[in-house]
Amino acid sequence: MKRVRSSRPELEGIAPYDAKQMRAEVRLAANENPHNLPGEILDKLADRVRQDMEFNRYPDPMCSYLRELIAEANGLEPGNVLVGNGGDELLLDVVLAWGGPGRSLMDLPPTFSMYGIDARMTGTHLIEIPRLSDFSIDATALLGTIADRDPDVVIVSNPNNPTGTMAPETLLIDLLNATDALVLVDEAYFEFSRQTMRPHMERHPNLVILRTFSKAFSLAGLRAGYLLANADVITELTKVRQPYSVNRFTQAAAALTFRERMVFEAGISETLRNRDRLMHAMSAMPQLEAFPSEANFVLFRIPQASAVWRDLLHDHSILVRDFSRTPGLEDCLRVTVGSCEEVERFVAAMDEITTNKQASDHFGVSATASRHMARE
Ligand code: PMP
Instruction: Determine if ligand 1 sits within 6 Å of the CB of residue 196.
Output: no
CB 333, CB 305: distance < 8 Å: yes
Residues whose CB falls within 8 Å of the CB of residue 210, separated by 6 or more in sequence, listed in order: 87, 90, 91, 184, 185, 186, 187, 188, 225, 226, 227
Give me the residue spans of the domains in the chain. Answer: 23-33+264-375, 39-259
Residue range 23-33+264-375, CATH number = 3.90.1150.10
Q: Is the CB of 293 under 6 A from ligand 1?
A: no
- Contact predicate 28/336, CB 8 Å: yes
Q: Is the CB of 336 under 6 A from ligand 1?
A: no
CB distance 112 to 159 below 8 Å: no
For residue 90, the ligand 1 atom closest to its alpha carbon is 14
Residue from 17, 31, 88 to probe ligand 1 pocket by mutation (most atoms less than 8 Å from CB)? 88
At 61, the pLDDT band (50, 70, 90 cuts) reads: very high
Residue located nearest, by CA, to atom 8 of ligand 1 = 30
Does 214 contact ligand 1 (Cβ within 6 A)?
Answer: yes
For the domain spanning 39-259, the CATH number is: 3.40.640.10
Taking a C-beta distance cutoff of 8 angstroms, is the pair 142, 119 a contact? no
Query: Ligand 1 center to residue 199 CA distance, Å?
Result: 22
Over the stretch 12-44, which tens digit does the pLDDT of each residue have? Answer: 888 887 878 899 999 999 999 999 999 999 999
How many other C-beta atoms lie within 10 A of the C-beta of residue 324?
A: 18
DSSP 144-166: HHHHHH--SEEEEESSPTTT-PP
CA of 167 to the centre of ligand 1 (A): 17
338 pocket-lining for ligand 1 (C-beta < 6 Å): no
pLDDT digits 0-9 by tens, 125-165? 999 999 999 999 999 999 999 999 999 999 999 999 999 99
Which range has the worst mean pLDDT, 128-132, 230-234, 270-274, 361-365?
Answer: 361-365
Mean pLDDT computed over every residue of the chain: 94
Give the mean model confidence (pLDDT) for residues 104-110.
98
Check whether 206 has a pLDDT greater than 60. yes
pTM of structure:
0.94
